Structure 1
Amino acid sequence: MRALTLDPTTANSLQVTEVPEPEPKPGELLVEGLAVGVCGTDKEIARAEYGWAPPGRDRLVLGHESLGRVMTAPPESDFTTGDLVVGVVRRPDPAPCGACAHGEFDNCRNGDYTERGIKELDGYAAERWCVESDYAVALDPRLAHVGVLMEPTSVVAKAWEQVRRVGERAWYEPNRALVTGAGPIGLLAAMIGVQQGLDVHVLDVVEEGPKPRLVRRIGATYHHGDAEEVAARLRPDVVIEATGVGSVVVSAVRNTASYGVVCLTGISSGGHAVAVDVAGANRVMVLENDVVVGSVNANLRHYRQAADALAKADLDWLDGLISRRVPLAAFADAFTAEPDDVKVVIAL
């Protein structure tokens, strides 16, 4: 069967190759691969900046944003043939650390976790794949066209959970949220904020195109001005930061309302100096009980939260997030950005 594979130590080694048919182990589902999403992490792995092949192998099957349909399932599982399913990305370390032992493997303390399509485990960019039934999550059948958005939605479901948990250290009733960045993570974060009844604002650099339209279609407000000016004017109770741009992060941190929570989900590229009045920021954060928290990856609970959020969403709006659907044979097109791209998907 065909799969999209690469050597993570060699840039530009992506190829569609023939790999052995998967054979499900006890407790595993056999799944027909339908689609995989392409994100910044996939592009970093393709450039040999990140990623690890399985032990004893040179090549890794790429793909961590999965979508498939169950072909066979263990009789003792909760799945049946034909179910729409997504595979969880991360697996706990074998030791395990305390967090992994409690099912919070997204917060692994020692870094010995593995990840499908990223770190030492083959991913989901294959015509067929297996997954442990304990690490698979069923989707509403109506999401067959857009369910590949499940993994990024799980990331923002976790971010919102972290915000709520931090806020609920005392009385907490947020009203206004600012999402910085209108890529897939930012737009899905805005969607969940709207579902929670918040007054949601989204900031990005583009003035026109699909991103402003998608923001407005869910009833949120779009901004493309200076981050400092927008954040200072809005004074949001919550910020979901999805750009990783240092100056935007700083503007978000110092312009929340009192008792504000900033959740950082964007990864900074580094190499850009930003002048920060640390003493001033410290004073504001202490006096206003503000919190800044980082959030990455997701565990099973967050995948289930994501499944619920997608099931509540407008299907046409979700479909609008997917800019292009590229066949597996033309995979290279998915790794070449186009101006109006939001999310690019490889059809398997």
Structure 2
Amino acid sequence: MQALTVTPRRRDSLRVETLPDPSPGPDDLLVEGLAVGVCGTDREIASGSYGWAPPGRERLVVGHESLGRVVWAPSGSGFAEGDLVAGIVRRPDPVPCGACARDQYDMCRNGRYTERGIKERDGYAATLWTVETGYAVRVDPSLERVGALLEPTTIVAKAWEQIERIGGRAWFEPRSVLVTGAGPIGLLAALIGRQRGLDVHVLDRVERGPKPELVRLLGGTFHTGDAEEVLRRVRPEVVIEATGSPGVAFAAMLGLRAYGVLCLTGVSPSGRTLRVDAGAINRELVLENSVVVGSVNANRDHFTAAARALAAADLPWLDRMVTRRVPLGGFAEAFESDGGGVKTVLELRS
């Protein structure tokens, strides 16, 4: 098989290698890799700033946003040859902590989890891979061109689940959501917001290109400019922050409507400082019963919810989200910036 590998923590070490074909265990699927999405985490690994190889190994097969076709499935598994599937990324720690013991490995408490393509487990950027049946999720056959969007959709499926759980403390019928950031996570958060019947607003810095049009095609409103000013105009009950900008995050804390929920999905770089009115932020959150929550990763329930959301979405809209498709042999291009594009997908079949 062909696989895209890297030596973690070594810059510019990405290469395509020929590796032995994997042998499925008795409870594994054997899968032909079709595509993987490329995200910021992948680019951090490629830059040498992140990632861990499997124990006893120097190199890691990258890729966690997977899509493949089943080549072989064990009898009674519920899967069959030809099924489209995606592989769940995280595995519970071996101890396990209380959350991992209850299949909530996205909420691991001790950090001993592993992740395909990221932390101590080979990923899915290979022309052939295996996955345990319990960590495989069926993808609707109509999604063959866009199924690599499933994993990023799980991130916002979890975010929406967290928002609903928090809102469920009392009566909660939000009418509007502001998504900050029109990258893949932000646009998929907006998609699920529209599927929930909300008035969707998206804030981003760009004024041209595919992002404003994708928001308009959803029936949402696209905004540019100052975050505080947009929040004053929209006054959303829900904000999903997907930029990782500290300034935007703190503006959102002050700009929520009463009983609002701010869900942070963007990861901010450390070392940046801001001057904020901490008293005003504290006063606003306390007196309005508002909540700020961080959300990352996903478990099986979120993968299943994401698969439903994509199957219910407009296929041409999803296809427009994928603004660059790169063959495996041209992988270097996939790890470069796409300018004003949205999503890059690395295609594994020749």
TM superposition score category, shorter chain reference: over 0.9
2:236/2:257 contact within 8 Å kept: yes
2:307 matched residue in structure 1: 307
Q: Which amino acid aligns with 1:219?
A: G
Task: Tell me how far 1:275 sits from its aligned partner.
Answer: 1.0
Task: Tell me how far 1:17 sits from its aligned partner.
Answer: 0.7
Residue 98 in structure 1 maps to residue 64 in structure 2:
no
1:125 matched residue in structure 2: 125
**Secondary structure in structure 2 of the residue aligned to 1:254:** helix
Q: Which amino acid aligns with 2:301?
A: R
Partners of 1:72 and 1:22 in 2: CA distance: 12
1:78 matched residue in structure 2: 78
2:183 matched residue in structure 1: 183
**Secondary structure in structure 2 of the residue aligned to 1:124:** coil
1:31/1:69 contact within 8 Å kept: yes
Q: Which amino acid aligns with 2:173?
A: E
Q: Which amino acid aligns with 2:233?
A: R
Partners of 1:233 and 1:341 in 2: CA distance: 28
What do the CA deviations read for 1:16-46 (whole angstroms, capped 9, x no partner)? 0111100001100000000000000000001
Partners of 1:48 and 1:339 in 2: CA distance: 22
What do the CA deviations read for 1:92-128 (whole angstroms, capped 9, x no partner)? 0011100001111000000000000000000000000
Partners of 2:39 and 2:199 in 1: CA distance: 28
2:40 matched residue in structure 1: 40
Partners of 1:287 and 1:14 in 2: CA distance: 51
Partners of 1:339 and 1:110 in 2: CA distance: 37
Residue 291 in structure 1 maps to residue 291 in structure 2:
yes
- 264-273 or 21-30: which moved more? 264-273
**Secondary structure in structure 1 of the residue aligned to 2:255:** coil
Matches within 5 A, 1:266-345: 266-345=266-345
Task: Tell me how far 1:9 sits from its aligned partner.
Answer: 2.3
What do the CA deviations read for 1:126-166 (whole angstroms, capped 9, x no partner)? 00000000000001100011000000000000000000000
What do the CA deviations read for 1:26-79 (whole angstroms, capped 9, x no partner)? 100000000000000000001111100000000000000000000000102010
Task: Tell me how far 1:341 sits from its aligned partner.
Answer: 1.6
**Secondary structure in structure 2 of the residue aligned to 1:279:** helix
Partners of 1:338 and 1:146 in 2: CA distance: 18
TM-score, structure 1 length as denominator?
Answer: 0.99
1:110 matched residue in structure 2: 110
Partners of 2:341 and 2:96 in 1: CA distance: 39
Task: Tell me how far 1:248 sits from its aligned partner.
Answer: 0.3
Partners of 2:285 and 2:190 in 1: CA distance: 24
Residue 151 in structure 1 maps to residue 143 in structure 2:
no
Partners of 1:187 and 1:42 in 2: CA distance: 19
Point out where structure 1 has 5 or more consecutive residues left out of the alignment.
none
Partners of 1:222 and 1:265 in 2: CA distance: 19
What do the CA deviations read for 1:205-247 (whole angstroms, capped 9, x no partner)? 0011100000000101000111010011111000000001010
Tell me the number of residue pairs that the alignment of Structure 1 and Structure 2 aligns: 348
1:167 matched residue in structure 2: 167
2:27 matched residue in structure 1: 27
Q: Which amino acid aligns with 1:271?
A: G
1:234 matched residue in structure 2: 234
**Alignment RMSD:** 0.6
**Secondary structure in structure 2 of the residue aligned to 1:186:** helix
What do the CA deviations read for 1:288-345 (whole angstroms, capped 9, x no partner)? 0000000000000000000000010000000001011100000000011132220001
2:221 matched residue in structure 1: 221
Partners of 1:47 and 1:324 in 2: CA distance: 20
Partners of 1:221 and 1:139 in 2: CA distance: 30
Residue 212 in structure 1 maps to residue 212 in structure 2:
yes
Task: Tell me how far 1:190 sits from its aligned partner.
Answer: 0.1
**Secondary structure in structure 2 of the residue aligned to 1:345:** strand
2:53/2:120 contact within 8 Å kept: yes
Partners of 1:214 and 1:40 in 2: CA distance: 21
What do the CA deviations read for 1:174-195 (whole angstroms, capped 9, x no partner)? 0010000000000000000000
2:209/2:341 contact within 8 Å kept: no
TM-score, structure 2 length as denominator?
Answer: 0.99
Partners of 1:255 and 1:340 in 2: CA distance: 28
**Secondary structure in structure 1 of the residue aligned to 2:71:** strand
2:200 matched residue in structure 1: 200
Task: Tell me how far 1:270 sits from its aligned partner.
Answer: 2.3
Partners of 1:200 and 1:174 in 2: CA distance: 11
Partners of 2:308 and 2:274 in 1: CA distance: 39
Partners of 2:235 and 2:340 in 1: CA distance: 30
1:54 matched residue in structure 2: 54
Following superposition, which runs of at least 4 residues in structure 1 exceed 2 angstroms of deviation?
none
Structure 1 vs Structure 2: percent identity of aligned residues?
64
2:8/2:46 contact within 8 Å kept: yes
Partners of 2:9 and 2:275 in 1: CA distance: 35
Point out where structure 2 has 5 or more consecutive residues left out of the alignment.
none
